[in-house]
Structure formats: C-alpha cells, structure tokens
Structure 1
Amino acid sequence: GLTHSYLQLNALQARFGRRGFTVLGFPCNQFGMQEPGTRLEILNGIKYVRPGGNFVPKFPIFEKIEVNGEKQHPFYTFLKGHCPSPNPAFYAKERLFYSPQHNNDIRWNFEKILINRRGIPVKRYEPRFMPIDIAD
C-alpha cells in the first residue's frame, strides 16, 4: 500500500513547516473503497495499524471528501483545473467508485498536489511518488 507516505509527509511538514509550508490531508473513499471510516476511525487506523506505532500526523487531516465525479469538492475542481494529471492512464477502473470519469481526475489515494505561496497549484505527483522527493 501507500500508507508509508504518512511518515514522509510528516518529515516534509517538520522540515518546511517553519517556512509556511503545510501538508493537507483529504481522505477519500472513491478508490477501492479503502477509506470507509469516519475521520476519527481514519486517525486511529493510521495511529495503530498503518503506519501504526502510535503515529500521529503533524499536519491536518480533514473530513472525508469526494475528489472526483459528480459530487467532487470545489477545492478539487480548482486544483485539477490548474494542474493536469501526471498520468494519462487510469488505474483499475473497476475499483473507481465515482462517475463521470474525466482525464484530469485524481488517479488514486495519495496523489499529491503542490500549491505555491499564492495558493496556485503548480504540480501534481503520482500516488507512488515519494513525498520526501518533493523537496528536491
């Protein structure tokens, strides 16, 4: 899975937080139905299971939202409108729980979007891209 990304997201927050950088976590259940729980259940899951070891994020994790499809959150409409998908291919379409599907959709959990100081999205990263490499 991709939950090891939480550790690197914490590292990014610790490294750049004093300079105004903030990681924002938006859980979503549209990809393989992998986030069915409430916000509290998600926080407990990452604390005790994945990555576990009493992990606590050093960044805000918001309520679950929809990032694609008919009910996508307006924030994600904005983000995707500024940055094209880093991958033209969809992952397992049978595991996508939303419609309609569009070329610029978020592809899977842990896709990352870098937003500059002016609030403009400047780059999208695939889910498997290691968060710590954003610093380069």
Structure 2
Amino acid sequence: MNALMEMFGDLSFTVLGFSCNQFGLQSPEVNHETLNVLKYVRPGGGFMPKFPVFAKVEVNGINEDPLFTFLKESLPFVNPVIGDIKKFYWSPIKVNDIRWNFEKFLITADGMPFKRYELQCPIEKVEIDIAEVL
C-alpha cells in the first residue's frame, strides 16, 4: 500500500487502512497500539504506513460498519470460496462478505465503488485500475 501511495499519492489518490479483528483474531490490539504493531510486529522492521490508518472496525456481520455494507452491496464478491468458517468471527456469514484481511476496494473520487479485489490479486492489476480511474 505504501508503494501505491508513492506511485499515485500526488494525483489525488490515497489509501485508507482499516484494522479488523474478525479474521482469525489476528488483530487483538486496541486502536492506540495499531501503529506500533505495524512498526514492530507485522510487518515490522520499522514499517510506517504512508496513508491514514483508522480505528478498528467490523467489516462483516451484524455490527459491520455502514461503509463496508455499502461497498459490499455495490460490488460483487471476488472469490466464490467462503473459506474456513472456524476462522471467521462474525455472524451471520453472507456470500458477499469480505473473506480475509487485505481485500481491497477501489473507489472513485466522487465516492463511487469501482472495483473489488481479493487478497491474492496481484498489485499490478490494482495499479492499472488506479491509473485508469485517475
């Protein structure tokens, strides 16, 4: 995500990061600890995001943030495999749910959802779409 900011950050583009603990309980930290977790643990090595990182949210289930409800309703799911539901910490599980951390959404400057990307999507495909939108 930092590389995308370096490539497009001066062109009215930004990455927005949202922490979520609904996937394997991998983000148990509290909000004020998030930047230190990124810097020292995962990915570690002094990593500092070059984009805003917001407070932890729920992206799926009964308490999902309205932003993610809107995004998921606006764009189709990108992976037909739901995955190991024992690692999911929300209910109810829906076909259009975000499947794991680092699923991405590209949104136009006027706030319209443009495209949704699965976890394993090569970043080069995202780069091409960003350039098209810009």
Matched, 1:86 2:85: no
Q: Residue 10 of structure 1: which of 2, 8, 13 is its match?
A: 2
Matched, 1:31 2:23: yes
1:53-103 deviation per Cα after TM superposition (whole angstroms, max 9, x unaligned) = 211100011000000000000000111111111011112111100001111
Q: Report 1:1-136 matches (<5 A).
A: 9-136=1-128
Number of equivalent positions: 128
Can you give the 5+ residue segments of structure 2 that lack an aligned partner in the other structure?
A: 129-134
1:5 corresponds in structure 2 to none
- TM (norm. structure 2) is 0.90
RMSD, matched Cα? 1.1
Q: Percent of aligned pairs with the same residue?
A: 52
Can you give the 5+ residue segments of structure 1 that lack an aligned partner in the other structure?
A: 1-8
